[in-house]
């Protein structure tokens, strides 16, 4: 292996260190009686050789950086393309999953022909695989949240009911916690559809366009439009749960299932992801 090949096997910092060492080891000795140019030529040759090696290294570094920038830009574009579909996901009964990796989220929302049933199955598999590791992460997040202290007894009992498969007990409790996690800090009259819609419009328009908070508020707002819909009939099937039918005793409890509870656990988690806003709202309310 020649010297240039040996350099190619080293990391960038190692190559720079080797070049510096090579230069620092050269001494300029001009012996009396010798031609000056002949005496200095070996040192100049060393500089030229080392400079060429350094320029090649810089060129490779620039190419690597340009490739990184390109890959980063492509990844950001894919992320924004996926986040733009949060309203579609909400329409199918699910809020933005804050504990999910971006590749997984992209894999889900960018699929064609998404339906409520397919998305329900996807999230059920997500939360139950590997002995429920993702669900346990969600559980720990909710139970340790300061923002849920007021509802903690209810949340703990909801988890116990869920573990026993008692979804008909779990579901109404989670609806109360979800509604309260929004209504209590910001004092929203959720039963008033116009006030609720105005609240979400202000939050969405007040967030920086394209920011994660912008997408979170769009996700939660559209989810509420679907779940809290008022003009619903108890005479037909609804693919996504309807709060008014459930809490007014007009929905069949035998049809409330695991997916319905998971969607509410996740929705509460999504609301809590904007915890600093919740804390600010609570402080402002206390100061009044």
Per-residue pLDDT reduced to its tens digit, 14-25: 665 565 555 554
Mind listing the pLDDT tens digit for each residue in 179-194? 999 999 888 887 788 9
Collect contacts of 126-133 with beta carbons under 8 A, ≥24 apart: 126/100, 127/262
Angle at 60 between CA 59 and CA 63, to 5 degrees: 90
Q: Does residue 89 contact residue 95 with C-beta atoms inside 8 Å?
A: yes
pLDDT in tens, the chain (288 residues): 555 555 455 555 566 556 555 555 444 444 444 454 455 556 556 656 667 777 776 677 666 666 656 554 555 566 556 677 889 999 999 999 998 888 888 889 888 899 999 999 999 999 999 999 999 999 999 999 999 999 999 999 999 999 999 999 999 999 999 999 999 988 888 778 899 999 999 999 999 988 889 999 999 999 999 999 887 777 778 889 999 899 889 999 999 999 999 999 999 999 998 865 655 555 555 555
| b/e sequence 152-189, b meaning 16+ C-beta within 10 Å | eeebeebbebbeeeebbbbbbbbbebbbbbbebbeebe
3-class DSSP state of 166: coil
Contact 188, 246 (CB under 8 A): no
DSSP state of 208: P
Q: pLDDT (tens digit, 9 = 90+) per residue, 67-110?
A: 656 554 555 566 556 677 889 999 999 999 998 888 888 889 88
Buried b or exposed e, range 209-227, using 16+ CB within 10 angstroms: eeeebbbbbbbbbbbbbbb
- How many Cβ atoms from other residues are within 10 Å of residue 46's Cβ? 14
Give the pLDDT confidence score for residue 280 in this predicted structure: 56
Residue with tokens 């346990």: 136
Distance CA 241, CA 253 (A): 11
How many residues make up the chain in this entry? 288
């Amino acid at each position: 292996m020649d010297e240039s090949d040996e350099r190619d096997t080293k990391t960038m910092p190692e190559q720079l260190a080797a070049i510096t060492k090579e230069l620092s080891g050269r001494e300029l000795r001009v012996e009396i009686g010798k031609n000056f140019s002949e005496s200095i030529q070996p040192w100049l040759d060393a500089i030229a050789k080392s400079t060429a090696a350094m320029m090649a290294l810089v060129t490779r570094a620039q190419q690597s950086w340009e490739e990184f920038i390109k890959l980063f830009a492509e990844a950001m574009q894919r992320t924004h393309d996926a986040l733009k579909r949060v309203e579609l996901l909400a329409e199918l009964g699910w809020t933005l999953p804050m504990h999910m990796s971006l590749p997984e989220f992209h894999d889900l929302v960018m699929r064609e022909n998404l339906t409520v049933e397919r998305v329900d199955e996807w999230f059920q598999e997500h939360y139950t695989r590997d002995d429920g590791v993702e669900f346990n992460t969600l559980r720990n997040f909710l139970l340790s949240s300061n923002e849920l202290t007021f509802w903690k007894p209810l949340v703990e009992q909801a988890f116990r009911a869920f573990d026993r498969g008692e979804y008909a007990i779990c579901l109404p409790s989670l609806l109360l916690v979800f509604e309260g996690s929004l209504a209590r800090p910001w004092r929203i009259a959720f039963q008033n559809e116009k006030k609720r819609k105005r609240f979400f419009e202000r939050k969405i328009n007040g967030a920086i366009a394209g920011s994660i908070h912008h997408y979170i508020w769009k996700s939660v707002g559209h989810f509420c439009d679907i779940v809290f819909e008022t003009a619903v009939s108890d005479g037909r099937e609804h693919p996504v749960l309807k709060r008014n039918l459930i809490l007014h005793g007009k929905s069949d409890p035998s049809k409330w299932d695991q997916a319905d509870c998971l969607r509410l656990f996740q929705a509460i988690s999504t609301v809590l992801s904007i915890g600093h806003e919740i804390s600010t709202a609570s402080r402002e309310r206390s100061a009044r």
